[in-house]
A = this chain, B = another copy of it.
């Protein structure tokens, strides 16, 4: 291991390392472009190399494998979505829990419609033979659901989260939810957290149907209104 110059604060070192970081950034940028245009399964390392003006074996100096590039793009997409959602949520006052939830939902849908291929990489069928490394994807992959839990928790702490329906949960499920609550430092009772889980998956179910074209072509001419309706019902369901 070389001594490395001592002037850096942890990021930039030798000019060679700067060039290397730049090349990796270029590869991610081009990969994101290919991903957006042709989809995840069609992502080709050779094509990225061509766009980079370099022979295919050269990019193996930087990424190691196609799967590793996929992981980089996965994290990149998770963070992009997380940024969009957190910005949208943050633009609504914290007391307006229902408004924050609506902003979160609209941000997810908007990003998904803007980036269908990247959304498909995150929430579609798993790429065959590819298993995302949990240690690198868990943190960015939980930003949206963390936002949602925080909205629920804030509302609950303010006494504005309605108790709905019977709160009897089977013991194993209650235990799972207790563990989640503990890990996130939330105070939301289990029954509401269970409903929150359903709201969470329902949101992505609605978005996936629209983005993946599961509604028949031309079935809904007013998708915006449909989604706003869903937001209202889901907010009620969550107790907001």
Which B residues touch A198, using CB under 8 A?
A: 202, 206, 229-230, 233-234
Per the CB 8 Å criterion, the residue count for chain A at the interface is 56
Q: How many copies does the complex hold?
A: 2
Docked CA distance A123–B127 (Å): 14
Asked if A14 is at the interface of the complex by the 8 Å CB criterion, the answer is: no
From the candidates B123, B124, B128, B213, name the one contacting A42 in the complex (CB within 8 A): B128
* Main SS class of interface, A: helix
Which B residues touch A233, using CB under 8 A?
A: 165, 195, 198, 237
Which B residues touch A124, using CB under 8 A?
A: 120, 124-126, 212
Check if A201 sits within 8 Å of B206, measured CB to CB. Answer: yes
Docked CA distance A209–B194 (Å): 15
Check if A214 sits within 8 Å of B128, measured CB to CB. Answer: no
Docked CA distance A38–B205 (Å): 24
Asked if A170 is at the interface of the complex by the 8 Å CB criterion, the answer is: yes
Check if B220 sits within 8 Å of A126, measured CB to CB. Answer: no
Check if A209 sits within 8 Å of B201, measured CB to CB. Answer: yes
Docked CA distance A203–B202 (Å): 7
Asked if A222 is at the interface of the complex by the 8 Å CB criterion, the answer is: yes
Asked if A87 is at the interface of the complex by the 8 Å CB criterion, the answer is: no
Query: What are the interface flags for A206-240 relative to B under an 8 Å C-beta threshold, 1 for contact and 0 otherwise?
Result: 10110011101101111001101110011011000
Docked CA distance A237–B124 (Å): 26
Which B residues touch A176, using CB under 8 A?
A: 219-222, 226
Docked CA distance A197–B234 (Å): 12
From the candidates B42, B138, B169, name the one contacting A216 in the complex (CB within 8 A): B138
Which B residues touch A228, using CB under 8 A?
A: 170
Residue ranges of A at the interface with B (Cβ–Cβ < 8 Å): 38-42, 117, 120-121, 123-129, 134, 138, 142, 165, 169-170, 172-173, 175-176, 180, 194-195, 197-198, 201-206, 208-209, 212-214, 216-217, 219-222, 225-226, 228-230, 233-234, 236-237
